[in-house]
Amino acid sequence: MVGTGRFELPTPRTPSECSTRLSHVPTQLSRLASANRLSGVQISLHQPGRRLLLAAAETGYTVPQMRIATNSLSIHLRLGHLACLPRRARVFTALLAIVCCIALIEPQTASAQTQPARHLLIYAIDVEGGQSTLLVSPSGASLLVDTGWPNVGGRDADRIQQAMRDAGITKLDHVLITHFHTDHVGGVPELVKRVPVGEFIDHGPNREDSDITRRDYAAYLKAIEGKPRRIVHPGDTISIPGLNTIVLTADGDHIKSVPGVTPTPNPYCATEPKWDLDETENPRSTGILVTFGSFRFLDLGDLTKAKEIPLVCPVNLIGTIDLYLVNHHGFNLSNSRAFVDAIHPRVAIMDNGAHKAGSPEAWQTVHESPGLEDLWQLHTAEDSDAAHNSPQALIANLPGSADGAWLKVVVSANGSFTVTNARTGQTKEYPQK
């Protein structure tokens, strides 16, 4: 038997040998054998969802009954005893022993394989100055915020799928499009060719009077035709098991209160200039606040200063934030001081490109925010200077290096989290406060 890869039944023994060997075998086994109910047995091993399914057919017994029967067998029953039984009884007894062993092993194996993850994963994906941010909850449910640029040889869809593989998912439950600029919505047509999507979420019709935005909006509608689409408004929620995800801004409007947050006066409002409202899609960005335990993540797309201020002035409606995805890739049209200082981010990620955004003014505002521990960047801002770039260890993609490295955040419900730079493989820890 050992090393053959198959199970062979022992050669029958003489009657005298059998009378000795069977003297201590339980009578239940004799009854099962003599009942002659074993017309044929098949054990099927199948493993969907990492669970082991046992099926016993044509025995007249269920698997639980077979397990109960095996528990009554003598621990001292050896293969030699099987030789003393009729062939059908020997087959049945051998199978009972196999099922018994699997039954003992299976619960522990299944428990290890199905042990739920206890972390929220956030990937700031490098789409070269656009946005694509993947969130995967401890339950495995997913939300992708924006999809990067159109086609580009499938580059951005490739990078999204790489993050999905790293997170262990093959489909996207929700895809949120913050607004209809090409670096946010442009990747949808390519993405839907590759990845199943549960629903698309956006703020409603395009509001910008420009040919390129009308074109990108039309391409988006064509790509998602026949797929579920939901238009959201401030105060709406996105159902992601394990997370609390609420819409703060959409289509130029903002939430009036955030559940669980007590608005507090913002002393930074007094010195904040009045900002003009631009007429693009940027101020219409759909922005979300994601809460996991005591951890809070803020992503407001490309929201500009005139729409940031109502969220924090005269009172701060949002509260403080653990991780801030810097508005508008770090453009100085966004990231007003009264806003950034009020939300008091512990860590910030700037999804800038090598030659897009990452402006010195916005970088300085975020960098000087009270309580900020680190400002991470997806790229070195090559059009800025060394004084307005973070240390290289905090930058995912350097000049002259291969692009495509992400920043991965792993969050525990107690509020502690880590950030890993895919370029270096190094991880920085942010302990629970």
Q: For the chain, give the number of residues.
A: 433
Reply yes or no on whether the pLDDT at 103 is more than 50: no
Reply yes or no on whether the pLDDT at 266 is more than 50: yes
- Dist. CA 84–CA 94, nearest whole Å: 13
Count of C-beta atoms within a 10 Å radius of residue 222: 10
Reply yes or no on whether the pLDDT at 350 is more than 90: yes
Report yes or no: 181 and 302 within 8 Å, Cβ to Cβ.
Answer: yes
pLDDT at 109: 34
Residue percentage of the chain with pLDDT more than 90: 71
pLDDT at 51: 35
Q: For 3-22, what is the mean pLDDT?
A: 43
Angle at 417 between CA 416 and CA 420, to 5 degrees: 160
Q: Is the model more confident about 204 or about 19?
A: 204
Q: For 251-260, what is the mean pLDDT?
A: 97
pLDDT at 96: 52
Ramachandran sector of residue 140 (left: φ over 0; alpha: ψ -120 to 50; beta: rest): left
pLDDT at 88: 54
Report yes or no: 430 and 349 within 8 Å, Cβ to Cβ.
Answer: no
Reply yes or no on whether the pLDDT at 341 is more than 70: yes
Listed residue (144, 132, 228) closest to 183, CA to CA: 132
Reply yes or no on whether the pLDDT at 87 is more than 80: no
Q: For 244-264, what is the mean pLDDT?
A: 97
- Dist. CA 304–CA 334, nearest whole Å: 4
Q: Which amino acid is at 344?
A: H
Dihedral (CA of 151, 161, 204, 227) sign: positive
Burial of residue 256 (number of CB atoms within 10 Å: 0-12, 13-18, 19+): exposed
pLDDT at 94: 52
pLDDT at 151: 81
Q: Is the model more confident about 2 or about 263?
A: 263
pLDDT band at 15 (very low <50, low <70, confident <90, very high): very low
Q: For 74-91, what is the mean pLDDT?
A: 47
Q: What is the pLDDT of residues 388-405, one digit of tens each?
A: 999 999 999 999 988 999
Please state, rounded to an integer, the average pLDDT across all residues of the chain.
Answer: 82
Reply yes or no on whether the pLDDT at 285 is more than 50: yes
Burial of residue 290 (number of CB atoms within 10 Å: 0-12, 13-18, 19+): buried
Count of C-beta atoms within a 10 Å radius of residue 378: 29
Reply yes or no on whether the pLDDT at 413 is more than 70: yes
Reply yes or no on whether the pLDDT at 132 is more than 50: yes
pLDDT at 41: 36
Beta carbons within 8 Å of 402's beta carbon, 6+ residues apart? none
